[in-house]
Amino acid sequence: MLTVEENERATRIGPGTPCGKLFRRYWWPLCLSTELPEKDGAPLRVRLLGEDLIAFRDSSGAIGLIDAYCPHRRAPLFFARNEECGLRCVYHGWKFDRHGDCVDMPSEPAGTTLQAKVKILAYPTVEKGGVVWTYMGPKDLQPAEPDYEWTRAPATHRYVSKTFENCNYLQALEGGLDTTHSSFAHYNKLGDRANLRQHDRAPQLDVERTDYGYSYVSQRNVDEGKYVRVYHYVMPAQQLRASIIGYEGVRNKPARLDGHIWAPIDDYTTHVYNIMCAPHPEDELIPEAVEKREVAAGRGEINNIPGTFRLKRNQSNDYLIDRQKQKTQNFTGIDGVNTQDFALQEGMGPICDRSKEFLGTSDKAIVAMRRILLEAIGVNEKGGTPRGVDPITYRNVRAYDRVVPSGQDWKTVMEKDLVALW
């Protein structure tokens, strides 16, 4: 468990907080590229790391990210005109480009020197992997652009969706890093022992620290030997995992490299970016298969409140839990893997009180992540460079799972599997 003080340090991410300062050393997902579909299109409200911002795609196609309010009289720039490479406030016509410079001030006399003195907060952005990223930290410490394997995959071989989660990022991240819960919360066909994660529900867990966070492996006993899943925790809030095989070594189609990034909206809410990537050139993601996967997870248009990233199954309706289904069909009585997670994570409250926990051996990966996170906060406070800031530390990382025959060392068998191909 964490002390009350440690829990505060690890969960509060607003400007000026210890964790907030750490998180501003990294690039974060700002939105999906599809949320800004056209040049000079409608501005997009964004809230990230406790800051209210406005994103827009300008006339050149580049994306700007600026303060949500005009510095003149603090009018909301959501209503601004997006025109000729800048946002023009409709209150008095002041216009700002994506760099934060005031490029026009028609309400002031010609030749005014005021325009040169006015700037608006602006953060750099980059588009990669169908996602718009931003860096919100000190300019002199800005790292190289994000370079995950899935961001380099062709558009035909990757897919990213987004979901709103009504809780602090940390309990959501911990849920993603917890491999053991999948044998219970996601037990969606009662009595099915063919599922590898049901064959052995108490996996052996090992964690190895790395320059980007850690790699961790779960090993489950199966008839042929060991079912081995190698995951990665990539600082500060990303998990990478794989869904390559089925029982008895039969590959699922499409095989996938999966993962999530938990991007804090503020202390109490989170946007989850759900990553799906084909591991090989021959495994192009078929749109129908992608949609089937999203629906099975409880996401997708059919499961979202129209026009939002919020799920129809949510706290207000107890996730439409079916107690009869819970007795006869699945472990939770809730449809959708994603929804099952949200019911448990959001149900902990906005910020989980970790001082009241009682942890077990299955929480090894959770404990390791917390230690690394708190250490990184300390390193950053002392002026050092936290783990995972430099993309060279994680760019060749890959998750994988495989059945390893009895008597063979999984590290030897899977050595080549764990190296990025894209």
Type of residue found at 179: T
Residue 88 has pLDDT above 50, yes or no: yes
* Beta carbons of 245 and 256 less than 8 angstroms apart: no
* Beta carbons of 283 and 157 less than 8 angstroms apart: yes
d(CA 120, CA 99): 8
Token pair 């050092």 is found at: 384
3-state secondary structure of 36: coil
Residue 414 has pLDDT above 70, yes or no: yes
Q: pLDDT tens digits, residue range 348-394?
A: 999 999 999 999 888 999 999 999 999 999 999 999 999 999 999 99
Through-space distance between the first and last CA atoms of the chain, rounded to whole angstroms: 39
Residue 33: left (phi > 0), alpha (psi -120 to 50), or beta? alpha
**Side-chain half-sphere CA neighbours of 345 within 13 A:** 27
User: So what's the pLDDT on residue 220?
Assistant: 86
User: So what's the pLDDT on residue 223?
Assistant: 80
pLDDT bracket for residue 217 (50, 70, 90) = very high
User: Strands across the sheet with 27-32, in order?
Assistant: 27-32, 131-135, 125-128
Alpha carbon of residue 199 to chain centroid: 29
Token pair for residue 207? 């964690």
Q: What is the mean pLDDT of residues 410-415?
A: 93
The architecture that CATH gives domain 27-141 is: 3-layer Sandwich (2.102)
User: So what's the pLDDT on residue 191?
Assistant: 54
* Beta carbons of 344 and 175 less than 8 angstroms apart: yes
Q: Where do the structural domains in the chain lie, given as residue ranges?
A: 27-141, 149-418
User: So what's the pLDDT on residue 111?
Assistant: 85
Type of residue found at 70: C
Residue 96 has pLDDT above 90, yes or no: yes
Helices within 74-135 (DSSP H only)? 114-117
User: So what's the pLDDT on residue 195?
Assistant: 59
Q: Over the chain, what is the mean pLDDT? A: 92
Residue 43 has pLDDT above 80, yes or no: yes
d(CA 398, CA 375): 24
Percent of the chain with pLDDT over 70: 93
Please list the helix, strand and coil fractions of the chain in percent, rounded to the nearest 5, in that order: 30, 30, 45
Among 33-37, 275-279, 377-381, the range scoring the smallest mean pLDDT is 275-279
d(CA 155, CA 132): 14
Helix (H) or strand (E) holding 207: strand 204-209
Residue 252 has pLDDT above 50, yes or no: no
Q: Does domain 149-418 have CATH number 3.40.50.720?
A: no
Helix (H) or strand (E) holding 95: strand 95-96
Q: What is the mean pLDDT of residues 196-209?
A: 75
Backbone phi, then psi, for 80, in 5-degree steps?
A: -70, 160
Contacts 24+ apart (CB under 8 A), 42-47: 42/82, 43/77, 43/78, 43/80, 43/82, 43/87, 45/78, 47/265, 47/266
Report which of residues 270 and 180 the model is more confident about: 270
d(CA 244, CA 319): 29
Q: What is the mean pLDDT of residues 186-212?
A: 72
Q: Read out DSSP for 138-204?
A: -GGGPPPPP--HHHHS-GGGEEEEEEEESS-HHHHHHHHH-SGGGGTTT--STT-TTSHHHH-SS-E
Type of residue found at 366: I
Among 196-210, 233-247, 294-308, 390-404, the range scoring the smallest mean pLDDT is 196-210
Token pair 């995972």 is found at: 388
d(CA 175, CA 58): 38
Among 198-202, 219-223, 303-307, 360-364, the range scoring the smallest mean pLDDT is 198-202
Residue 45: left (phi > 0), alpha (psi -120 to 50), or beta? beta
Among 125-134, 143-152, 295-304, the range scoring the smallest mean pLDDT is 295-304
User: So what's the pLDDT on residue 254?
Assistant: 56
pLDDT bracket for residue 246 (50, 70, 90) = very low
Residue 182 has pLDDT above 80, yes or no: no
Q: What is the mean pLDDT of residues 400-408?
A: 91
